[in-house]
Chains A and B, each alone.
Chain A
Amino acid sequence: MAIDLGAVEAQLSTAFPGAVVEREGDWLVLDRDRLPSIATYLRDEMGFDFLTHVSASDYADHLDVVYNVYSTRPELQGPGLSFKVRVPDRVDARVPTVTTIWKSANFQEREVWDMFGIHFDGHPDLRRILLWEGFEGHPLRKDWHEPYYEEDNKPFGSRWPYPENPRPRSAEQRVHWRANVQYPQGFDPEDWDLGADYPPLFAPKVEINGIDTEPVYLNVGPHHPSTHGVFRMVVGLQGETVTNLTPVVGHLHRNHEKIGERNLWNGNIPYTDRLDYISPMYNEFAYVVAVERMLGKEVPERAEYLRVIMGELARVVNHLLTIGFQFNELGAMMTPMIYAFTEREHVLDLFEEASGARMMHNYYRIGGVYGDVSDEWLARCRKVVSRLDRKIDEFETLLTDNEIFISRSRGVGAMSWQEMVNYGVTGPVLRSAGLSYDIRRVEPYSIYESFDFEVPTYETGDVYDRYRQRIAEARQSIKILKQALNRIPATGAIMDGKNAWNVKVPDGELYSRVEHPKGELGFYLVSDGGTNPYRYHVRSECLINLAALEAMSVGHLLADAIVILGSIDITLGEVDR
């Protein structure tokens, strides 16, 4: 599953003498100063046009910024190139940006800046993305001390509006750090003007066709019925046409990654459920696959089958729900959504019986799954699968040829796959634009290699094609489910060895990705050989797919922007982490 690193290194060294500073396991350490030209070479000459993951890691004496690039060329699809650049200076950490080469780096570099304080030179819009401007420090740095836990201060002050008359038993009176708040230097929350960070709410006059007009800026969200949670878009409108759109995320941020570093390797599994809470099973899948790759662990066959069954059920449910929500956004008064929820209930019943929980399953284990299922369960599952099969037909009968739907979705949000790849868009949205790129095929994990299924694609990548794409993928998942339910071994272990409470993962780092229902869900893990991750990063497909939202929406109407957002299919639990 590895790429021929030696050949890449040789080619790079010929083109840029001294570009490869060092080779570290499966990673190449590249020359920081020449990164943009090396990156351009990687993209244009070597075919690595698909940058999916940018992150960083803090090692007491230096910081590493890591990149994972892949290729969409048919002959090069598969494992990609992992490289990193080293930042020795912790105080004035600087790396040249690659946003100009791969637009998908935009949000991810902002996140790295937010979490690690690494400044990306040349980044067009380097602001904090998940935290607010008044946050002191960069929390994923190892020398950052957590307020409340490690440090005697708080990240923000009391909101009690009468300082001259403090509440007698307010939290500030009781806790020992009192009102000791720490803000960045020169930051005053009273003066903090939200508008300064975002497009102005009342824009200056512009002249269009000889007429002075004022574009209207509309705050869609965070309290808006159609933003799938607490997501905010600042939409510039000319009439009702979108002229620009800025996604603002982070309202649900809980620093999942910091929590992940404190947890045991095992203890992270239930936390991954909270990422994309529409299909938690697959989040666990992604995480355990990543840890098993680090451990080199084999998983028993029956457990693999159970994993695939759970994962594909989750995929079908996710796609049906997405379509349901999509129609809700189109104004179909909840009917398709509730039809989708009806099907979800049947699948959740199965999940509940297998894992004990309807939503936060905590079912996958490192090296297996939590519990075996009975033969009755499998029989019921077969019934549910054939029911889902029929229900997908029903969805198609009811929705596919609806004229209002077609007139509202054809050509809306269309984007070529080349552009999507540049934006780092993955999953059904990318495939609906015509690129057959499914990680289950190009870089198989678990036992997906043994199943017979196709990777459907459509042509235009508009909202209508995304809908058809999801229907087609749900059908393929049903196909996989039927095969898996036929071939699952009747008996067998469901864990590799005994169920360990604690796992020690050998030294190393790795980026592992799976085909989550919404796109490429990746985990970047660094271990120092201990019982908890040294660095734990989630490559959130929801957040990165959002990067293309503006490009997809501009020129369409506000109503279309909402529909496009829905068709990208985000879950805020994962966007904000």
Chain B
Amino acid sequence: MDWVADFWIPLIKAVVVVLVLLLGGAYMTWGERKICARFQVRYGPNRAGPFGILQPLADAVKAIFKEEIVPNHVDKIIYVMAPGISFAAVLITFAVIPFGPEVDLFGQRVGLWVGDIEVGLLFLLAIAALGSYGIVLGGWSSNNKYSLLGALRAAAQMISYELILGISLLAVVLLAGSLNLREIVDFQGTWPLLVLQPLGFLIFLIAILAESNRSPFDLPETENELVSGFMTEYGGIKFALYFIAEYTAMVVNSAIVVTIFLGGWKWPALISDLHPLAGVGLFLAKVLFVLFLYVWIRASIPRVRFDKFMRFSWKFMLPLAFVNLLATAAVVAFL
């Protein structure tokens, strides 16, 4: 067994990715507050450190030192477990996302991804399905009507939009001819898939907004109707786990969008001979752009009502995704 190649390098990669993700999730909370504040003619956090840069740290410390309250009427095991499931699912998702090409680092040939599996795309969908358990279990175990309604909504929403997500990805698979994310990125060497699949991209973007419960589809937590939805009974570090899972999920989902539709770490065809590590920078920049999109949407659009949202899913998005799939299949088959 080659310990360096088979054990240490994957371990180091995994640790680095998890740390970056955690940091990214934490700073996403800061970034969102800051950007939203700018949309709303105010400053946002600016007390903890310059530009409030230490705010996530302060929030984390506060959450950790809060009293751990487990209400009497909850199903204690599941109640404690649920935020963990949410969080773990988000972290696992990133495992298959390549964030750079294969590079020579410290005399070793290192691929800038954690896992390179043949069914990467399916893996994404499967883990997303697991992630919904975090929410459903949290909502059920809280034994609170608001939580239950939130969990019901989450379950319905995720089933509906996972389907759309899958079908819009099928078109991608048809074009790229692979389920492997690394190969999908390679396929986008000249043009990002956005150019070939503009409709698919839009469908995917909407579906992933819905999948990650982000505004305008944040129906499982809808503060104004369900108090906090599935999180109503949570506090302290458990709430913080949910919270950071949501924001890390934003980062991960942006990375997915970038990998599948925006060309991953690849530069557009015009620019080619750059240092491989510059690709990682480009990947990050694209992810930040998609994240900005998330916040932009949240700051400017009101929430969709749940029944209309479901109707939109089944009666409009799903047929549209099928049309897109059929058109792509026709193009692939006859051209």
Contact = CB atoms under 8 A, between A and B. Distances in A.
Does a CB–CB distance below 8 Å link A and B in the complex?
yes
Interface of A: 216, 218, 224-226, 240, 327-335, 338-339, 342, 402, 404-405, 407-408, 557-560, 562
Contacts of A331: 215-216, 218, 222-224, 302-303
A218 B145 CA distance: 7
Contacts of A405: 302
B301 interface: yes
A225 B301 CA distance: 19
A335 B300 contact: yes
A113 B248 CA distance: 56
A562 B225 CA distance: 7
A218 B305 CA distance: 19
Given A327-B302, A407-B308, A408-B302, A240 B218 contact: no
B40 interface: yes
Nearest to B223: A225
A402 B303 CA distance: 11
Given A331-B216, A333-B215, A335-B300, A408 B227 contact: no
Nearest to A332: B302
A527 B286 CA distance: 73
B224 A225 contact: yes
Given A339-B41, A404-B302, A407-B308, A559 B225 contact: yes
Contact of B40 (A216, A218, A335, A558): A335
A376 B212 CA distance: 53
Interface residues of B, number: 27
Given A218-B145, A225-B227, A331-B216, A559 B222 contact: yes
Given A331-B218, A331-B224, A339-B41, A559 B306 contact: yes
Contact of A338 (B41, B145, B222, B300): B41
27 contacts: A216-B145, A218-B145, A218-B149, A225-B227, A240-B306, A240-B307, A328-B224, A330-B302, A330-B303, A331-B222, A331-B302, A331-B303, A332-B301, A333-B215, A335-B36, A338-B40, A342-B41, A404-B302, A404-B304, A407-B305, A407-B308, A557-B305, A557-B306, A558-B149, A558-B225, A559-B222, A559-B225
B41 A557 contact: no
A333 B224 contact: no
Interface in B291-335: 298-308
A190 to B, nearest CB: 20
B47 interface: no
A52 B154 CA distance: 45
A437 B69 CA distance: 53
Contacts of A329: 224
A342 B42 CA distance: 10
B39 interface: yes
Interface in B172-219: 215-216, 218
Nearest to B41: A342
B178 to A, nearest CB: 37
A333 B305 contact: no
A405 B308 CA distance: 12
A558 B224 CA distance: 10
Contacts of B298: 333
B224 A334 contact: no
